[in-house]
Structures are given as C-alpha cells and as structure tokens.
Amino acid sequence: MRIRLIALVGVVLLALLASVAVDPSTPGTGENPAPERLYSPEETGSHLWPYTSRTRSIEGRTLAINVVVRADPEELRTALVDRSDGNWTEVEGDDAGAVGGDDAGAVGDDDAVGIGASPWRPARGAARYTYVAPDRNAAGTWVRAEYQLGTGAYLGRRIHIRVYPAPGSDWNAIQAHAEYWDWFRLRHTVTGIRPGAQFIERDLRDEPFVDRVAREYHGYHGGGSDGWTTTIEFAAPLALVGAVAVGHRRDWLGGRWSPADVALPVALAGVLLGVRSLGLAVESAVPAADPRIFAAGLYPVIAFGPPALVVWLASDRPPERTAAVAGGGLGTGVVLDLLGVGVREVPVRLALHRFALCCALGLFALGIARGDRRIAGAGALAWLLALAGPLSGYV
C-alpha cells in the first residue's frame, strides 16, 4: 500500500515537472534574424522572417507565418471584415482560382461568383511582431500586427489571425492558428497553425475578387510550420471598385459499487463541461461584454469545484477505487471538453499538465477516502501547484 502511495506521489511530481519543462518556444541566437533565415514570398519583392515574436527580437519567437496575401492592405481588410460592403467586380479569365506549379496545391474554384458574408470579427490577443526587409542583406523592420480577427467563440474554440501589412508594399503576412479557451490556464491554448491557414483558404478561395490561391514551399520549419505557406492573390486594382474601407485491479475496481462511486466521476466531468457551456452561453447572450469578465467569474468553479466534490462524495469510500474514479472522472471531463470545442491535437506539455491535475486530484481523493490528513494535504498542495503553473506562465 505504501509503495503504491509513494509511486502515485512520484507520478504527480514527474508530470508537473515534465509539463513545465516542455517549452513551447524555440529561442533564437540574436536580436534580428540572420539573412539566411529570411525568404522572399513570391512576387512581393521583399524578404520576410517567417515567424512571429513576443518581442522585437527572435528570442521571443512563437508561431510561424502561414499565409501571405498579395493585395493592398486596405483591400484585404475590407475583404476580411466588410466584404459585403465593397462593390467588388468579378474576376474574369482562366487565371481566376489558379494554383502555382508543382510546389503548389490546388485550392481554387474557377466558377465562383457572388460575395459571401464575412465570418470574421475583431479579436483580442497579445501583441506579436514579425520582421520584414526590402532585401535579404538590407536592414529590416520589426512590424507589429495591425489588427487581429477571429471566428468562433472566445470561451470555446476559434480561429485567430494577426495581420501584418508589409511597410510600403502591397502584400500582407498573416499568422493564423486554431486555439481554445483553457480554463486551467485562463487564456487561449494554440492547437495548431495548419487549421488556421486552411480556414482562410476556404473562406476566400470562392470569392470573385480572388485571382489565385496556392501553396508555396519555403522550407523553414519551426513554430508549427511544415515549410509551406498559403499564398493568396487578389485581382488587379482595376478589377476592384469601391474596395477600400476601414494485480491489484480487483482491489481498486472490484467489490460492490454504489451510486456515490458513479456520482463522483460524473460530477467532476460535469463541472468542466458545465463551466464551458455556461461560458459560451453567457458570451453569446452578452456579446458586447469582454468575455474575460465571465472567465474570471467562472474560474473559481474550475479551481475549487473538483476538490469540493471530492470532499463531499469521497468520504468513507473505498480509497483506491475512489482515487481512480476521481482522477478518471476529471480526465474524462478534460477529454470531452476538448472534443466539445473541436480540439483534436493537444501539445505534449498540456497533456502532461492535465495528467498531473488528474493525479493530484486522485491523491487528494485517496486521502479524503482514508481520512488521512497528510495524504489529503499532499494532494491539495499538488492540486494548487498544478493550478499555479499555467497561471504563472510555466505551462
């Protein structure tokens, strides 16, 4: 029994340490990108560092730039935000919706007509920068995202984009990614950049003002990139009218089960799903309010609800079984919550962190079921540390 307890505590600590140790960012080696780390998007006449950064330095590198749009910056903004208000003229000719050569994937439609409604809305997010240079060996400029847009629910899953108009040029770099609101981190967690680029492709490829959609291979990996960039080209300015706008298994699980054994995991999973559902409902009901206000109000339910349920439902229950169903119930809630918002891929560090949370709650449930304050205290401390890690930016 003591060996299993020590092993459980060890698993909690190892999972917590591993979730902190897996760093999502890749540090650079200098302030500005080296010339060989720049590439020239097709027909732009400029060079781009194909990443974004938290600061005006490659040391803060985060996600990769994955879309380049060759268009006047204001025309692009109109297309994304107010496309139905622009008096667009249909693109004619065989080049509409064409794709590039062997290094491009076909994603266009020659027969598209009409202007669809825009799915994009203004979005909130931290400041990010990218680097643009007129020539590979010339001094460049750190460019801050001019605006951010999103589609989806702030407290659910959304596609989030940051748009970087190139200084003095008619092209724009876009960083697009899929993310979901993580109640344990109280901020969004990125699940991948490919879905972001694919969503923009689907959104714009059938619009008559889009001349060409293709994919261009630049070969730079990292930041979620596989070396490919989606390139979108708008029609020539003359084709646009009015476009500018703002062995122990039996001991653990055997024996007679009671409703309390089932109620605990169901209640724990229900807490996570209920908070997500309530957050989405309130956000939808009060769209003008800052969703972070609702997040702050609901977070205490996430933080203190599971331990409170354990105290209520785990007392005087079979200890090992209770520990298993408590951790399993929370884990089930985590998985169902992710599936509910459409997340299919989770970064390793986050998977390890959620595993640590489940183990910490299981340890707490073990102590409550046994009436052992030391074990319960260790589980409560592990739970608090697991909550503090993401809030402090370590996960």
Handedness of CA 47, 52, 56, 61 (dihedral sign): negative
Say how far apart CA 151 and CA 117 lie, in whole Å: 12
Alpha carbon of 69 to those of 80, 301, 341: distances in Å? Answer: 11, 43, 29
What total number of domains does the chain contain? 2
Does any domain span residue 363?
yes
List the domain range (segments joined by +) for residue 190: 35-239
Task: Choose among 100, 104, 120: nearest CA to 207.
Answer: 120
Same domain, 86 and 201: yes
Does any domain span residue 182?
yes
Strand-pair partners of 295: none
Does any domain span residue 26?
no
CA 129, 290, 189: angle at the middle one, nearest 5?
Answer: 50
Same domain, 94 and 43: yes
Same domain, 64 and 17: no
Q: Could you tell me the end-to-end alpha-carbon distance of the chain, in angstroms, rounded to an integer?
A: 32
Same domain, 184 and 330: no
Same domain, 235 and 313: no
Of 181, 214, 239, which one is at a domain's C-terminal end?
Answer: 239
Yes or no: say if 306 and 273 are a contact pair by the CB < 8 Å rule.
no
pLDDT digit string, tens, across residues 82-96? 876 544 544 443 333
Same domain, 100 and 223: yes
What percent of the chain has pLDDT above 90? 59
Residue type at position 125 = G
Task: Choose among 231, 197, 178, 203: nearest CA to 117.
Answer: 203
Say how far apart CA 228 and CA 68 lie, in whole Å: 11
Same domain, 9 and 56: no
pTM here is 0.73
Q: 3-state DSSP call for residue 209?
A: coil
Residue type at position 315 = S
Q: 3-state DSSP call for residue 148?
A: strand
Does any domain span residue 298?
yes
- Residue with the two structure tokens 């609101």: 181
Task: Choose among 180, 184, 182, 187: nearest CA to 389.
Answer: 184
Of 196, 216, 239, which one is at a domain's C-terminal end?
Answer: 239
Does any domain span residue 287?
yes
Same domain, 150 and 290: no
User: Per this entry, what is the length of the chain?
Assistant: 395
Of 239, 274, 307, which one is at a domain's C-terminal end?
Answer: 239
Same domain, 148 and 86: yes
DSSP assignment of 157-205, as one string? EEEEEEEEEPTTSS-EEEEEEEEEEETTTTEEEEEESHHHHHHHHHHHT
Same domain, 185 and 40: yes
Same domain, 205 and 325: no
Same domain, 210 and 258: no
Does any domain span residue 29?
no
Q: What is the mean pLDDT, run by run of 10 residues, along the chain of 395 residues?
A: 61 59 46 92 92 94 96 91 60 40 37 65 91 89 94 93 93 96 92 95 89 93 94 70 38 58 91 95 91 92 95 87 93 94 89 94 93 92 94 82
